[in-house]
Structure 1
Amino acid sequence: MADEPDAGEVAAVLLASFSVLLRRVRQVPAAGELTMPERSALSHLERSGPTTSSALAREVQITAQAMGTTIGALHTRGLVERRPDPDDGRRAVLTVTDAGRQALRDKRNARTELIAQALTSGMFTPAELDQLAAAAALLERLARNI
């Protein structure tokens, strides 16, 4: 009877593999390339919905000044919109524009395409592709339970 896998070893191998994969796909260029801070702010704003610059800065754990610079660049490119806060006219509420959503989609599509090309490059057998497909559901379940 085979020994059960050590959960700590499996965790270490998974984390190392994910780190390499994420590092590689984050390097994929896309049209209208976003900087890492811009992509982070835009993604967070898309997920969490309209918010202020200072609240967004707290969420992504950067200074309000750094977020202001990032938001300024996104606003100049038409990727975010500023509207007066209905509760406090001194503040602005930020929302992602259609162009901002498209920029994020373009980046995600470029990443998906990169992975799809690697999967169809002949480096993986049909059985291995089936294993990766099955593992995807397990990885999603793992992510939900962390």
Structure 2
Amino acid sequence: MAMTESDHAEVDVDAVAAELRIVTGALIRRLRVHRAPGDPTVGEGRVLARLDRGGPATSADLARREQVSPQAMGVTIAGLMERGLLDRAVDPSDGRRIMLTLSPAGVEALTDRRHHSSRALAEAMSAALSPDEVVAVAEILPLLDRVGEAL
């Protein structure tokens, strides 16, 4: 059913934003529950994803970007290193700095985690939504992306 111009005038953008925040937050929390045994923790996954997107970084860079203490980041990095998910190398431009990158096993763990989450979401969508509703979700994704870019 198409919205009329008067319907648009009555939409409370603050209420829609609040509901969107609640719904997306709950969805993300529920996706985090769907971890396979051995999957990186939430914090470890964030570090792996940040290194995947941003390339090599120091521990201090990662702590600053993730807004955690250097000590907390050190614990996260130690766990990732112990499982062979990160590689360390001396920064060629400053021999005093240690740069962290994803190891091949780290790339695989991140890819597996993303696939597992996407699969869980696809299964939930198939169970909860009709094919037409799945199409409606697909159609709104570019709009949500634009909202995210505007933040």
TM-score computed with the length of structure 2 as normaliser: 0.88
Aligned-partner Cα distance in 2 for 1:65–1:30: 27
Any stretches of 5+ residues in structure 2 without a counterpart?
A: none
Aligned-partner Cα distance in 2 for 1:70–1:35: 9
Poorly superposed stretches of 4+, deviation over 6 Å: none
Cα displacement (A) at 1:140: 1.2
Structure-2 residue corresponding to 1:132: 137
TM-score computed with the length of structure 1 as normaliser: 0.91
Structure-2 residue corresponding to 1:97: 103
Aligned-partner Cα distance in 2 for 1:68–1:130: 43
Q: How does 1:9-24 map to 2 (within 5 A)?
A: 9-24=15-30
Q: How does 1:20-99 map to 2 (within 5 A)?
A: 20-99=26-105
Of 106, 116, 121, which aligns to 1:110?
116
Cα displacement (A) at 1:31: 4.6
Aligned-partner Cα distance in 1 for 2:113–2:37: 8
Aligned-partner Cα distance in 2 for 1:40–1:125: 32
What one-letter code is carried by the residue in structure 2 that aligns with 1:138?
L
Q: Is contact 1:41-1:56 (8 Å) kept?
A: yes
The verdict on how the C-alpha distance between 1:100 and 1:8 changes in structure 2, with shifts beyond 3 A counting, is same
Q: Is the partner of 2:95 in helix, strand or coil?
A: coil
Any stretches of 5+ residues in structure 1 without a counterpart?
A: none
Q: Is the partner of 2:94 in helix, strand or coil?
A: coil
Count of matched residue pairs: 145
The verdict on how the C-alpha distance between 1:31 and 1:104 changes in structure 2, with shifts beyond 3 A counting, is farther
Cα displacement (A) at 1:88: 2.9
Aligned-partner Cα distance in 1 for 2:54–2:68: 17
Identity, % of aligned pairs? Answer: 40
Cα displacement (A) at 1:3: 2.9
Aligned-partner Cα distance in 1 for 2:121–2:74: 34
Aligned-partner Cα distance in 1 for 2:135–2:93: 52
Specify which structure has the higher proportion of helix.
2
Aligned-partner Cα distance in 1 for 2:138–2:69: 40
Aligned-partner Cα distance in 1 for 2:126–2:58: 43
